[in-house]
Amino acid sequence: MQPLTTTSLQIRDNQLWILDQQALPQQKNWCLTPDAATLINHIKALRVRGAPLIGLSASLLLALLAEKGMAQAELSQTLEQLRIARPTAVNLMNNLERMNQALASTQYVHRMVEEALRLVAEDRALCESIARTGSALITPGSQLLTHCNTGGLATAGVGTALGVILAGWQQGKVQNVWVDETRPLLQGGRLTAWELGELGVPCQLICDSMAATLMAQKQIDAVWVGADRIAANGDVANKIGTYSLAVLAHYHDVPFYVAAPHTTLDPACPNGAAIPIEQRAATEVTGVAGSFGAVQWAQPDTRVWNPAFDVTPAQLISGWVLDSGVITPDQVQAGIFQPSAE
Ligand code: MRU
């Protein structure tokens, strides 16, 4: 396959390499990912993370395995294993559905390589469209809040919500970005603050619990988040903590925007209650681990509840900023995300 580079994925010498997002920002480790077992391990450990990136990494690996001579039946089994690597982000299933169609062709090697590269190119273009569309909603002098990490690390392009913020800053409209640290795995503190710093965008890191006070002090003009799955009624699954921000934004009359590519839509999923939410290990909450080592502060037998995502009801969302344009609450209520409207 031709060489390819995104912020956090590379194809070099016909091998897939992933940038270990658990080691960032202290270490920039590129990990060779030769097979599905290794990739699934990286996905579960969040070394590869972010809804679009998970789908792209799985698609690229399948294409490389096809090129290396893996038989159709084994490719099909591998695809099914990858499909269930993480349950919430629908981009993985949507991308793999397209790879499955390519796999069914008689020219499957050529078709799979073509499809995986097309998915990467499309994701770049989708990010650009989202950034262009979303940045038009940013008013000059804005202070924006974002949660988790939705930038170049999580996509093949400029990102989704963070791409919007970056475009707004490039247009001179963003005064400051408040970055939620995003407990328990600190995607905001480790990744978003680092990405914005590298890009020169003015930002301040806050603990997740500080957003309410900032909103009460009128220091947040809008909240921008990404999505892992958007249900047919407009409910949005995203990183745990997103829902509480939406409630806060509603109370303080602050616009709350969700930015995502259409590959995050799941018309077959009627509402947020039907979105599978990943539960994760207790040790992520009883302490913290990273390239600096691991610290556990709670007693090892402490009982823990650790959902990786929550669901924000559609009524709390001011706009769904997709690559196709801004979808309004009225359009969502009228059924624009319903299967028949596809
Ligand atoms: O568990 P993660 O880090 O994969 O969660 C990521 C998020 O929740 C992002 O907001 C979402 O995937 C959008 S990324 C463009």
Interface pTM, i.e. ipTM: 0.98
How far, in Å, CA of 224 to CA of 151, rounded? 12
Residues 191, 122: one domain?
Answer: no
Q: Is residue 241 part of a domain?
A: yes
Pairing of strands 229-231, 222-225: unpaired
Ranges of H-type helices in 2-107: 36-44, 51-67, 72-83, 90-103
Write down the pTM of the prediction.
0.97
Q: Is residue 158 part of a domain?
A: yes
Residues 98, 160: one domain?
Answer: no
Q: Atom 10 (ligand 1): residue with closest C-alpha?
A: 226
Q: Is residue 339 part of a domain?
A: no
175-226 residue pLDDT tens: 999 999 999 999 999 999 999 999 999 999 999 999 999 999 999 999 999 9
Domain that holds residue 93: 4-127
Residue 51 known to bind ligand: yes
28-55 residue pLDDT tens: 999 999 999 999 999 999 999 999 999 9
Pairing of strands 222-225, 174-180: unpaired
Tell me, using a 6 A CB cutoff, whether residue 24 lines ligand 1.
no
Q: Is residue 25 part of a domain?
A: yes
Q: Is residue 134 part of a domain?
A: no
Tell me, using a 6 A CB cutoff, whether residue 55 lines ligand 1.
no
Residues 201, 258: one domain?
Answer: yes
Short-list 6, 97, 25, 68, CA closest to 290: 25
Q: Which of 104, 127, 150 is the last residue of a domain?
A: 127
Largest CA distance in the chain: 62
Measured distance between the N- and C-terminal CA atoms of the chain, rounded to whole angstroms: 33
At 201, which CATH number?
A: 3.40.50.10470
How far, in Å, CA of 80 to CA of 158, rounded? 29
Q: Is residue 338 part of a domain?
A: no
Q: Which of 73, 102, 127 is the last residue of a domain?
A: 127
Residue 83 known to bind ligand: no
Residues 216, 150: one domain?
Answer: yes
240-278 residue pLDDT tens: 999 999 999 999 999 999 999 999 999 999 999 999 999
A 10 A CB-CB count for 272 gives 21
Tell me, using a 6 A CB cutoff, whether residue 310 lines ligand 1.
no
**Percentages helix, strand, coil for the chain, rounded to the nearest 5?**
45, 20, 35
Residues 116, 172: one domain?
Answer: no
Residue 98 known to bind ligand: no
Q: Please give the radius of gyration of the chain, using alpha carbons only, rounded to the nearest integer.
A: 19
Q: What is the pLDDT of residue 292?
A: 81
Q: Which of 94, 127, 160 is the last residue of a domain?
A: 127
How far apart are the CA of 320 and the centre of ligand 1, in A?
A: 16
Q: What is the pLDDT of residue 180?
A: 98
Tell me, using a 6 A CB cutoff, whether residue 160 lines ligand 1.
yes
Question: Does 342 have pLDDT greater than 60?
Answer: no
Residues 256, 168: one domain?
Answer: yes
Mean pLDDT across 317-335: 98
Question: Does 231 have pLDDT greater than 90?
Answer: yes
Residues 169, 312: one domain?
Answer: yes
Residue 86 known to bind ligand: yes
Nearest atom in ligand 1 to the alpha carbon of residue 91 is 12
Q: Is residue 118 part of a domain?
A: yes
Pairing of strands 309-312, 287-290: unpaired
What is the enclosing helix (H) or strand (E) of 124?
helix 108-135
- Whether residue 102 contacts residue 112, with contact meaning beta carbons closer than 8 Å, is answered with yes
Q: Read off the pLDDT band of 293 (50, 70, 90).
A: confident
Short-list 314, 312, 256, 309, CA closest to 134: 256
How far apart are the CA of 72 and the centre of ligand 1, in A?
A: 31
Residues 191, 60: one domain?
Answer: no
How far, in Å, CA of 232 to CA of 38, rounded? 33
C-alpha dihedral (168, 173, 178, 181), degrees to nearest 10:
10
Residue 187 known to bind ligand: yes
Contacts of 86 (CB under 8 A, 6+ apart): 43, 44, 54, 92, 278
- Whether residue 271 contacts residue 265, with contact meaning beta carbons closer than 8 Å, is answered with no
Residues 200, 313: one domain?
Answer: yes
Residues 205, 291: one domain?
Answer: yes
How far, in Å, CA of 292 to CA of 234, rounded? 39
How far apart are the CA of 292 and the centre of ligand 1, in A?
A: 23
Residues 105, 165: one domain?
Answer: no
Tell me, using a 6 A CB cutoff, whether residue 49 lines ligand 1.
yes
Question: Does 341 have pLDDT greater than 60?
Answer: no
Q: Which amino acid is at 272?
A: G
Q: What is the pLDDT of residue 88?
A: 98
In percent, the amount of the chain with pLDDT more than 70 equals 99
Short-list 67, 51, 146, 66, CA closest to 100: 66
Residues 51, 24: one domain?
Answer: yes
At 63, which CATH number?
A: 1.20.120.420
Give the number of domains in the chain.
Answer: 2
Q: Is residue 203 part of a domain?
A: yes
228 is catalytic: yes
How far apart are the CA of 109 and the centre of ligand 1, in A?
A: 30
DSSP category for residue 5: E
Q: Which of 228, 235, 310, 323 is catalytic?
A: 228
Tell me, using a 6 A CB cutoff, whether residue 184 lines ligand 1.
no
Short-list 277, 326, 299, CA closest to 137: 326
Q: Read off the pLDDT band of 160 (50, 70, 90).
A: very high
